[in-house]
Amino acid sequence: MDWQNKVVLVTGGTGSFGKKFIRLMLDEYHPSKIIVFSRDELKQHEMRTTGDFDHPTIRYFIGDVRDRERLSRAFYGVDIVVHTAALKQVPACEYNPMEAIKTNILGSSNVIEAAIENGVSKVMALSTDKAVNPVNLYGATKLAAEKLMVQSNAYAGGRNTRISCTRYGNVVGSRGSVVPLFLKQRPTGVLTITDDRMTRFWISLEQGARFVIRCIEQMQGGELFVPKIPSMKMIDLAKAMAPEAEIRIIGIRPGEKLHESLISEDEARTTVELDDMFVIQPAGEPLWFGHAWAQKGRALPEGFTYTSANNTEWLDVDGINAIIKPIEAELAAEVKK
């Protein structure tokens, strides 16, 4: 794919993922224009004035995905949209349910409509393991957003717009993740975890961004792309970050799972396994795309699920340290702000 002739827009572009994705675009792919679409003028100002993102190909566009008219104006002349904007803090979504619905579901619908209206060629939306068998509102809104993205390929009809999703697990060091919390707690000598049995999928920001770029290049429309990534035990993460600290179990929170899933048993029936990822194809016999993957990979066995508990790849304390240590100084500096 020739990125150099593309105009790329990132909703939620001032977030952790957005900045990493844009950094890779600037350093390696060199699109003709990058549009940062977000609602926070302060974050855009800070992003622009760091120097790293004060680049002649970047445009900063104030707007909210809840505002369809603003999206339509922003999408004019855009080739690729990466949809990352979301309310993602589980407690905040539980306490403000309609706000989560307006941003995560209605906002995603607005992205789809604006993309089709403006002839955007590719839309890639980011989802989460919490969308699989959701037990909290955040997961439920992301599941609904996934369904919107997949089914909306039918709306594109004979137009060129294609819409797909990526779905992966916890991102190390992203805003709101447990790593910054442990950095704050470490000086106290006590780290809190909710349950010592808890496991999670694990992916770095750069791995996530590179996966999204690769999926954009390969997408046909209607697929859900799931990377093969390692699992870890939360108690091992605590031991890696603070070996001498006391680990205090505080009890599982409302809306929290012991283990996360990336592919459910029902989804596995339409999923193709490749060497480094899974592709969940559209169910049934829809009149659109995303079914050619069956010739490129392997069908999954009956009863297959992909969870953080039954994963075949695990990070131990040493493996976690290998990932955490290079970024710990950066995270620690952000925690102090």
Q: What residue ranges do the domains of the chain occupy?
A: 3-169+202-229+260-306
Do the beta carbons of residue 145 and residue 152 sit within 8 Å? no
Amino acid 184: pLDDT:
87
- Catalytic residue flag (residue 336): no
Amino acid 175: pLDDT:
66
- Written as one letter, the residue type at 7 is V
Q: Taking the CB of residue 35, how many other CB atoms lie within 10 A of it?
A: 22
Give the CATH H-level superfamily of domain 3-169+202-229+260-306.
NAD(P)-binding Rossmann-like Domain (3.40.50.720)
The angle that helices 234-241 and 317-336 make with each other, rounded to 10 degrees, is 70
Q: Which structure tokens are listed for 89?
A: 């803090």
Distance from C-alpha of 23 to C-alpha of 2, rounded to nearest angstrom? 18
Amino acid 336: pLDDT:
55
Amino acid 255: pLDDT:
80
Residue 274 C-beta-side C-alpha neighbours within 13 Å: 16
Amino acid 159: pLDDT:
84
Do the beta carbons of residue 179 and residue 173 sit within 8 Å? yes
Amino acid 24: pLDDT:
97
Distance from C-alpha of 182 to C-alpha of 163, rounded to nearest angstrom? 37
Q: Name the pairing type of β-strands 277-280 and 271-273.
A: antiparallel
Amino acid 290: pLDDT:
60
What residues are paired with 279 via a beta bridge?
225, 272
Nearest to 65 by CA among 88, 42, 84, 46: 84
pLDDT in tens, 102-139: 999 999 999 999 999 999 999 999 999 999 999 999 99
Q: Name the pairing type of β-strands 122-128 and 80-83.
A: parallel
User: Which stretch of DSSP H or E encloses residue 212?
Assistant: helix 205-218
Out of 130, 142, 239, 257, the active site residue is 130
Do the beta carbons of residue 126 and residue 82 sit within 8 Å? yes
pLDDT tens string, the chain, 337 residues long: the values are 899 999 999 999 999 899 999 999 999 999 999 999 999 999 999 999 986 899 999 999 999 999 999 999 999 999 999 999 999 988 899 999 999 999 999 999 999 999 999 999 999 999 999 999 999 999 999 999 999 999 999 887 778 899 999 999 888 867 667 888 888 899 999 999 999 999 999 998 999 999 999 999 999 999 999 999 999 999 999 999 899 999 999 998 878 899 999 999 999 999 999 999 999 998 866 656 666 888 889 999 999 999 999 999 999 988 888 888 777 766 655 545 5
pTM of the entire predicted model? 0.92
